Amino acid sequence: MSTGFVRVSAMAFVCLCGCAPVVLPPADGGSPALTSFAFLTPTAQATIAEEERTVRLEVPSGTDLSALVAVYVASGARVTVAGVDQVSGRTANNFSNPVEYVVAGSDGSSATYVVRVSVRAPLAQEKSITEFAFREPTVNATIDETRHSIAAVVPHGTDRSSLVAVFLSTGIRVTVDDTEQVSGVTINDFVEPRTYVVTAEDGSSSSYIVEVQEAPGAEKCLTSFSLLCPGATAVIDEAQRIVHARAADGTGLSSLVAEFSITGASVRVAGRVQQSGITANDFTSPVEYEVIAEDGTSVVYTVKVVAGLALLVNEVDVDQVGVDNSEFIELLAVENVDLWGIVVILLNGSVTPGLEYARIDLSALGALVQGSYLVLAGPLVQVLPPALKHTPPGWESSNRIQNGPSDAVMIWDTIGRKVIDTVSYAGVLHRALITGEQAELDATEGSSGAAADSNSAIGSMARFPNGHDTGQNGIDFRFTPVLTPGGPNP
């Protein structure tokens, strides 16, 4: 042939294994065509659309298109670009714009192929977390892009060991400890800070430290309280935030140590931090314990400590002439008395042991100042001012107090679980049981009971002199024809 070219197979046109390129001439014979087209540097294989006679290649981002060498196979006698003969694997061309390859056959026919080279867009480098939140509980986090940190505060009590994050990122992948994260699905333990790694399209990555804090708690309760002294007891009235404490009779109150527990951060008394079992306080007057929550809010509990309760049964009228509809029990406060936790118990002495048949709770009545009277009576009883009168439930009717023999009226401290005062009348009651206590109690002070009341003459059983207490019911009480509910006995 006049071209001097050697005909070769279209399949064996180049070595791609690091050897020098084998230059293949166009194959003559048949219709002129471009059957294969590629670049070795950079590596790119073309797609040839024969019907449109277009050749398309995509090269990596940043490729210089001004001098690329094509490796191709053509059937024909000659391949030219702009009239310049082409040699596969050698001739460089500028592919910045479409390049026309003309394949000419030996018979004078030709085919023109338009080669278009596009540059692949650069791989994205974006790798930011743009939103981060939790749905349960509903919390939006704060993203500090400068420090690559994410902070969230969840409500107090939230289980941080099992939270699901909802997030958006500009990367193609987000991982925590090499585990791919799915927004709204993947569970993580946020008790300790977690590192979120965002990988960009170009393979680079950035890390965000996610820290989830639990909001300070608002809990601030005094849940238990006791005094470190013999025989001490205490009860917390949560509704009123008052602690009613009892110490043994004669206990000095000026320097007592309390043991307590709280829900909260700390406890202060007069601005001083309290340590359970260590800090001493003067309880001769009520002491205010301020319980401070983690969030800084606080509540105050008033601690009232009593060493001995000076409250006496001072006058009792259990029997009237005719219908017993004017019964009363008069109590006298020998000293200031906090009535919370104190009850008056009525005992039936006709059985052995005597049994409780009624109980009157005085807690809601507050306190009595020294020398004041409290009268428990029905609506027909007129009380001398300024005494306090209380009508127990059901006392609107008659016959509320049994009239003996050997029945008793007892003042009982439910906090200290001890008898404050007791009086049996028309007989003794040395063995009695009250509700909630296993051990029997002595309901008679001394060897004899108070004198009996009368149902044929007006009168009552009263201490004489008024408020006098020798610890002997038979000595301290007498029948008197002058009724003085709420006032001194004559």
Inter-residue contact 206 to 127 (CB < 8 Å): yes
Q: Is the peptide bond before 137 cis (omega within 30 degrees of 0)?
A: yes
Of the candidate CATH numbers 3.40.50.280, 2.60.40.2340, 1.20.140.10, 3.40.50.10800, the domain formed by 33-119 belongs to 2.60.40.2340
Domains 33-119 and 129-214 share a fold: yes
* Closest residue by Cα to residue 449 from 469, 423, 467: 423
**221-307 has which CATH code?**
2.60.40.4120
**Could you list the pLDDT tens digit for every one of the 490 residues in the chain?**
333 333 333 333 333 333 334 444 444 556 999 999 999 999 999 999 999 999 999 999 999 999 999 999 999 999 999 999 999 999 999 999 999 999 999 999 999 999 999 999 999 999 999 999 999 999 999 999 999 999 999 999 999 999 999 999 999 999 999 999 999 999 999 999 999 999 999 999 999 999 999 999 999 999 999 999 988 999 999 999 999 999 998 899 999 999 999 999 999 999 999 999 999 999 999 999 999 999 999 999 999 999 888 999 999 999 999 999 999 999 999 999 999 999 999 999 999 999 999 999 999 999 999 999 999 999 999 999 999 999 999 998 889 999 989 999 999 999 999 999 999 999 999 999 999 999 999 999 999 999 999 999 999 999 999 999 999 999 999 999 999 999 999 9
Q: What is the CATH number of domain 129-214?
A: 2.60.40.2340
Count CA atoms within 13 Å of residue 111 on its CB side. 21
| DSSP code at position 20 | P
Burial degree of 349 (CB within 10 A; 0-12, 13-18, 19+)? buried
The closest alpha carbon to 75, from 41, 104, 51, 118, belongs to 104
From the list 68, 91, 89, the residue with the least C-alpha distance to 81 is 91
* Residue boundaries of the structural domains of the chain: 33-119, 129-214, 221-307, 311-480
Q: Which residues pair with 373 in a beta bridge?
A: 332
Question: By CB neighbour count within 10 A (0-12 exposed, 13-18 middle, 19+ buried), where does 364 fall?
Answer: exposed
d(CA 490, CA 484): 8
